[in-house]
Amino acid sequence: MTGFKHHFEPTSLREYDIRGIVGKTLHPEDAYALGRVFASMIRRDGGSVVTVGYDGRLSSPELEKALVQGAVDSGVTVRRVGRGPTPMLYYAAVTGKSDGAIMVTGSHNPPDHNGFKMMLKGKPFFGEQIREVGRLAAAGDVVPKAEGKVETIDPSEAYIERLLQDYDGEKPLKVVWDNGNSAAGDVLARLVKKLPGEHTVLYPEIDGTFPNHHPDPTVEGNLQDLIKTVREKKADIGVAFDGDADRVGVVDGKGEILWGDQILVLLARDVLKRHPGATIIADVKASQVLFDEVGKAGGEPLMWRTGHSLIKSKMAETSSPLAGEMSGHIFFADKWYGFDDALYGAIRILGIVARLPGTLADMREALPQMVNTPELRFPCEDTRKFDVIKEVAERLKKEGADVSSVDGVRVNTADGWWLLRASNTQAVLVGRIEAQSHEGLARLKKAFVSQLEASGLQAPDFEAAAAGH
């Protein structure tokens, strides 16, 4: 008997990570328990090394300390990489051939939230594996207490040099970076000194209170300072990160935003020159324009389920060199390691922009212009959300609609498409609608709303959702 047992707050065990509100649904005891259980799983699988890092949140050092102690008490060697971006931890784990890795991070959530992202044998640790952590902790099913050891390593210099290795621009650029007080701050400051061109970094200090704006580059309001500075400095491009720098946001030289699917078009065209015919993956929220452009560039577009762990797994299965999500997660297996890394994504984007015959704005403006809603999120009980999707799918089937059911329902019509899916992480339904004209968008909205109402749900406020984007 180990004498160890722990019950996680059920809401903290999410699909892709463990996450909660510090002091309410997440405590240092949870961090210790995770370390104890995760390291036990590694030991039982014949492994012995876990790499651990943490982001810039105020609660992260305390959680990291408890996590490390838990892992050490299960007899593994813990390599501590310290504070930095999530992808730097991934890099250290993959190149150091670690058996597992845990990042203490609240990602893009509010300052009082925090959590843990995990990797096992270089692959994402999610879904059933996270539920297993909860079961093992509750049962006290861990290896007997043992004396592990701690090593402190600093992978930052090797990581920066590796990032720079794949920069392939042909002319110097004027770049504005919005670090957003994210955990990338220290690494970014050193990286830009070694890049050609002129670089301005906004909010370089790592500050877990996020005093300047919320660290989520998919929300237009969070990009306003970047847009303003790009226009003032007449920069070629602006780049933004989320709180732990695994998601990227991009603004062109006119201060216009490139959304996740437009960024992927830029990258796919480049990657497909080296990998003709390759599969390029995007999530179900991406524009039809992306899938069409991948086809035009000689690639095989694949629409897949939303969720960074699901996308990474599908990439490995299909040998895809590139994938991305609307949320700004960009995954490179071309020259890189298959994980999402906003710093690496930025390096590759800058290289392409510094080789374009025109500007990034020219490229964006040349894409077919669609009319679409932002991501629409509206409350729906966890016990009900998947049933709603089933009901909608059944009605659409009876109507003979053209439906993709990869993740929820994505309905194709002559006007465009609309999507309704259940969030894997929250008690919400997620929608998105895209058309070739405003009239078409109105028709699609009407169809979308009628399906919701048929399942007894109130339609989302489209205006409010647009204002929040």
Query: Which residues does the annotation mark as catalytic?
Result: 107
Return the DSSP state at 14: -
Instruction: Output DSSP code: residue 322.
Output: E
345 within 8 A of 352, measured Cβ to Cβ: no
Q: Are 248 and 263 in contact (CB under 8 A)?
A: yes
DSSP, collapsed to helix, strand or coil, labels residue 460 as coil
Token pair in block for residue 237: 């491009």
Token reading at 416: 């465009």
Beta-bridge partners for 152: 80
**DSSP-based three-state secondary structure for 90:** helix
DSSP 26: B
Please identify which residue in the block is written with the tokens 């877990």.
Answer: 208
For the record, the structure tokens of 326 come out as 């609307």
CB 440 within 8 A of CB 433: no
Q: Is 438 exposed, middle or buried (0-12, 13-18, 19+ CB in 10 A)?
A: exposed
State the maximum Cα–Cα separation within the chain, in Å, rounded to a whole number.
Answer: 68
How far apart are alpha carbons 223 and 289 in whole angstroms?
Answer: 24
Is the Cβ–Cβ distance between 401 and 411 less than 8 Å? yes
Q: How many Å apart are CA 21 and CA 9, to the nearest integer?
A: 10
Q: How far apart are CA 428 and CA 434, in angstroms?
A: 20
Q: Is the distance from CB of 321 to CB of 275 less than 8 angstroms?
A: yes
Residue type (1 letter), 300: E
Of 141, 153, 131, the residue nearest 39 (C-alpha): 141
Look-up of token digits 């297993």: 132
